[in-house]
Structure 1
Amino acid sequence: MSKPPLIIRDSVHGDMTIKEQVAIDLINSKEFQRLRRINQLAGGQFVFPSASHTRFSHCLGVYYLISKFLQTKPFSEKYDERQQLLVKLAGLMHDIGHGPFSHTFEQIGIVTKTKISHENYSSLIISSSTTEVNQILQKYLNPSEIKELCEMIEGNHQDPILSSLVSSQIDADRMDYLLRDAMTSGVAYGHLDWQWIIRNVTIMENKLVFPEKVLYAIESYLIGRYHMYQQIYLHPISLGFDLTFRQLFQRLYDLQQTNYCFKNQEIIALLKPLLAGEMLDVETYWDLDDYSLFTALKKLVTEDDEILKDLATMLTTRNFFRLVDEEKINQEEIAKKLKKKYKTYYNYFMVSYDLKSVKLYNSTVKPIYIATKNGIKMLDEVSEIIDSTKSMVNDKKYFFTIGAVLK
C-alpha cells in the first residue's frame, strides 16, 4: 500500500503536494532539516523584521515550481518520469549546501582568498556516504543518477533544458526567491506572473522558449528582480552586515597567523580548515547553522584583543558598518578619528565595497529565447526595454565605517 502524499501549506504557493517518497524522506533528513536554521536573506532580516524565512521553505518552493514546469505538455512529452524526478530533486536540494547566513558565509573565502561555494558543499552532502541524504538517495537512485543530481546543481548537466529549470536567467530558483523575499519583506517589486510564464513555456531546437505574448511578463520579472536587488539585497544595512562579518573573520584569520592565544577556542577549532583555505568535512559542515555560528561569535566579545572584541560586539548588537556619505565626511577625516582609538589597525574599521552593476539581463549567459514570426530570437533582440539597458553600467565604490565616526 502506497503512502499518502505530503501536503505542505506554504504562505507563497498555498498547498504544495509532494508525492515522491524519496523527496519526503529527503525533506525529513537531518541535513535538509538543518536548512530551517539557515536564514534566506542573512543581513536582510536586520532591515526587514518579517524577512525571517529560511532556505528550508525556499527549497520546497523551488521543488514546487519545477513540478509546475514539468506538468506542461512540452516537458511531460519530452521527459520520462525518471528524468523529471531527478530535476525535481535537484531543485529540492540545490541549496542544501548553504552555510550560516547563506551567501554571507562565503565572505570567509574572500578573507582566505579561496572560493567557498554552496554548490560544492551541496554536492559534497549529496555524494558523501556518511550523510542521511546520500543513504536515502542510494535506496532510490543508482550512482549515475546521484552524479546527475550534483551536475544539475553545479550547472554542469548535459541537458541544457533540464539544467535551466534549476539555474538560468528565468529558473524556478529565481522565481521562488523573488516571490518569497518580496512577500516577507513587504516590498512589492518581486511580484511576478509566474503562472502565465510557466503555462506558456515550450521547447524548440533544444531550447526553453517563450511565445511573444509572454514578453511583458518576462520584462516585468526582470525589472522586478533588478529593483529587488536595489531595495533589499544591496541595502546598505545588509551590506554592512556582510562587511562586519568579513572584517571579523579577517581579524580572526590575522590573529591565527600570529599564533594568538584565543580564550575561546571553539570557533577556531570549528572553522580552522576554512581559515586555512580548505573545505570543511561534511560532518563539521552539517553542524554549522545560524544558531551555532552566532553562539560561537558571541563568545568573542570576551577576548582580550580589542579589535576582535569590538567587531564581535558590532555583529551581535546590530551595530554594523555604516555607509559613508562622502559629501558630508571624507576618508581622511574618518581615518583620523579611527587612528585615535585603533592606531595602525584602523583599516579594520574602514572598508571599501566595489559594487558591480546589477544587469537587468545578460545575453551571454543562458539567454532567454522568444518565439517570433521570424523565428527564435534572444530576448534583447525582441525587447526594446532590455535592448535599451545593454549599455547601462553603474559600477561604484562605496566606503563603510563604524557609526561612531559618522556622528
Structure 2
Amino acid sequence: MMKLSLTIRDSVHGDIDIKEEIAVKLINTPEFQRLRRISQLAGGQFVFPSASHTRFSHCIGVYHLVSEMLETPSFQEMYSKHEQLLVKLAGLLHDIGHGPFSHTFERINKVTNANISHENYSTLLIKSSTTNINKILTKEFSDSEIDELCQIIEGKHPDSVLSSLVSSQLDADRMDYLLRDGQTSGVDYSHVDTQWIIRHLFIKDKKIIFPLKVQYAIESFLIGRYHMYNQIYLHPLSIGFDLTFEMMFKRLYDLYHKNYRFKNNQIITLLKPLLNGKMMTAEQYCFLDDYTLFTGLKMLENENDEVLVTLIRMLIDRKFLRKINSRERNLEEIKNNLIKKYKNHYNYFMVEYNLKPVKLYDSNTKPIYIDTPDGVKCIMDVSEVLAFKNNKKQTATTIWFSIGEKYVSE
C-alpha cells in the first residue's frame, strides 16, 4: 500500500513536504480542519483586512520549521527518529486547542476567574478518547509518549531542548507567526532569517546554542517581534475588539447567573460550562469556531436586554470600544453621559485597560545562548542593543476604552 504524503504550497515557506503518514492523517481530522475556521489575529483582521489567515496555516508552518530544526546535525545525533516524530507532531498540534478568535477567547477567564488556557484544551483534544486525533495517536504512541507530546506543547517536558523548539523565546512558533502575521498585515517589521538561524543552531550541555555570527539575525528577530507587538498585536482597535468581546461575555455571564430567561437557549446551552467557569468537553469545544460563535451571538440579537444586544451589534458591525484620548476628553464627563443612557450598566461600555510594556527580551524566561570566544553566554550579555533597551525602566500604562466616537454625548 502506498504511504500517505502531502505537499502544501504555503505563502510563507513555499512547498512544505509532509512525509509522515501520521501527520497527514492528523491534518485530515475534523479537529485539525476546524483550525481553518479559527482566525490567527482575531481583532487584528479588523485593522488589516488581508490579515485573515488562520491557525491552520500557522500550525502547518510551525511543523515545517520544527522539521527543519530537527534536520541539523545535533538533533540527528542526539534524538531517535521516534523522538523527532513526537516533536514534529507537537509543533503540528500545538494550537489545536485554540478557541474562536484565538487568544481573544481566553479573555473569558477574566470574567469567570477560571484559569483555562488553549494549551489545556490542546491536551484535552489530544487525550480525549472521543477525538479522531486521539484515535490516530494511540495507534502510534503509548500513553506515556502522548503525555510527553503534551508536555512539549505546554513547555514542561523534562528535556528542555525539546520543549524549546515549540515554547521558548526563539522557537518555531514565534518565527512562523511573525513571518505570517507580518506578511498578511502588509508590514516589513517582522522579517526573520529562519534559514540562517536554524542552519547554525547546535546542542551543548542540554542547551540550544547559536554561534556568534547568528547574533545579528537573532537581534533582528527580537526587534521585529517588539515592533509587531506595538504596531499590530496591541493596535488600539484590536484591543477594542478584545475588550468588547470580554464585556459581551461578561453581560452574558451576569444575565445567566441572574436567571435571565433567554429567548434563544441554543448558544447558552453550548456555553453553559464556560458560564460556570468549567472546561467544555472535547465534543462541545470542537463545535466552537469563529463562525458558529458569531452565528450563535447573532441569534441573541432579539433578546430584551439592551446592554447585551448593543455589545453583540458592536462586535458584528465593527463598532468596538474605542481608545479614549484622556488629554482631549474628560473621563468623568464620558462616564456621566454613559450613566444617563445605561444607568448602573455603564461599566460595560467604559473599560480600563492595563497596557504592559513590551519586552524586547525577557531575561526571566528561557534564555537565548550565544557561543562566544569567552564561552557560552546569554545574548543579553553579548548584545549592546538588548542590554540598552532592557536596562530602561518601563511601567504599565492605563488606557480607557469607551463606546463610540462621541461617547454617547448626545
Residue pairs, 1:88-107, within 5 angstroms? 88-107=88-107
Which amino acid in the other structure matches residue 14 of structure 2?
G
Which residue is equivalent to 1:405?
Answer: 406
Which residue is equivalent to 2:257?
Answer: 257
Deviation at 1:394, TM superposition (A): 4.0
Aligned counterparts of 1:398 and 1:50: Cα–Cα separation in 2: 27
Which amino acid in the other structure matches residue 81 of structure 1?
K
With structure 2 as the length reference, what TM-score do the two structures score? 0.98
Moved more, 236-245 or 264-273: 264-273
1:3-51 Cα distance to aligned partner (Å, 9 max, x none): 2521000000000000000000000001000000000000001000001
Aligned counterparts of 2:67 and 2:395: Cα–Cα separation in 1: 37
Which residue is equivalent to 2:386?
Answer: 386
Which residue is equivalent to 1:192?
Answer: 192
- 1:339–1:4 Cα change, 3 Å: closer
- 1:38–1:127 Cα change, 3 Å: same
Q: SS of 1:397's equivalent?
A: strand
With structure 1 as the length reference, what TM-score do the two structures score? 0.98
1:239-295 Cα distance to aligned partner (Å, 9 max, x none): 000000000011111111111111121221111111111000110001000000010
Residue pairs, 1:151-170, within 5 angstroms? 151-170=151-170
Q: Is this contact kept in 2: 1:108–1:116, CA < 8 A?
A: no
Aligned counterparts of 1:402 and 1:13: Cα–Cα separation in 2: 41
Does structure 1 residue 52 correspond to structure 2 residue 31? Answer: no
Does structure 1 residue 245 correspond to structure 2 residue 245? Answer: yes
Which amino acid in the other structure matches residue 240 of structure 2?
G
Q: Is this contact kept in 2: 1:337–1:405, CA < 8 A?
A: no
Cα RMSD, aligned residues only = 1.0
Which residue is equivalent to 2:131?
Answer: 131
Which residue is equivalent to 2:303?
Answer: 303
Q: Structure 2: 5+ residue runs without aligned partners?
A: none
Aligned counterparts of 2:67 and 2:254: Cα–Cα separation in 1: 47
Aligned counterparts of 2:23 and 2:405: Cα–Cα separation in 1: 50
1:69-128 Cα distance to aligned partner (Å, 9 max, x none): 011111111111011000000000000000000000001110001112000000000001
Q: Is this contact kept in 2: 1:338–1:405, CA < 8 A?
A: no
Which residue is equivalent to 1:3?
Answer: 3
Q: Is this contact kept in 2: 1:212–1:372, CA < 8 A?
A: yes
Q: SS of 1:7's equivalent?
A: strand
1:125-148 Cα distance to aligned partner (Å, 9 max, x none): 000111000000111112211111
Q: Is this contact kept in 2: 1:350–1:400, CA < 8 A?
A: yes
Which residue is equivalent to 2:369?
Answer: 369
Aligned counterparts of 1:266 and 1:190: Cα–Cα separation in 2: 42
Deviation at 1:404, TM superposition (A): 4.3
Aligned counterparts of 2:141 and 2:359: Cα–Cα separation in 1: 39
Aligned counterparts of 2:257 and 2:134: Cα–Cα separation in 1: 36
Aligned counterparts of 1:399 and 1:271: Cα–Cα separation in 2: 29
Q: SS of 2:391's equivalent?
A: coil
Which residue is equivalent to 1:205?
Answer: 205
Deviation at 1:315, TM superposition (A): 0.6
Which amino acid in the other structure matches residue 244 of structure 1?
T
Q: SS of 2:175's equivalent?
A: helix
Aligned counterparts of 2:363 and 2:252: Cα–Cα separation in 1: 41
Q: SS of 1:352's equivalent?
A: strand
Which residue is equivalent to 2:41?
Answer: 41
Deviation at 1:339, TM superposition (A): 1.3
Aligned counterparts of 1:336 and 1:278: Cα–Cα separation in 2: 36
Which residue is equivalent to 1:73?
Answer: 73
Which residue is equivalent to 2:279?
Answer: 279
Q: SS of 2:400's equivalent?
A: strand
Q: Is this contact kept in 2: 1:353–1:398, CA < 8 A?
A: yes
Which amino acid in the other structure matches residue 151 of structure 2?
E
Deviation at 1:391, TM superposition (A): 3.0
Q: Structure 1: 5+ residue runs without aligned partners?
A: none
Does structure 1 residue 114 correspond to structure 2 residue 114? Answer: yes
Aligned counterparts of 1:264 and 1:16: Cα–Cα separation in 2: 45
Which residue is equivalent to 2:31?
Answer: 31
Aligned counterparts of 1:35 and 1:334: Cα–Cα separation in 2: 40
Deviation at 1:354, TM superposition (A): 0.4
Aligned counterparts of 2:357 and 2:325: Cα–Cα separation in 1: 20
Which residue is equivalent to 2:397?
Answer: 396
Residue pairs, 1:167-178, within 5 angstroms? 167-178=167-178
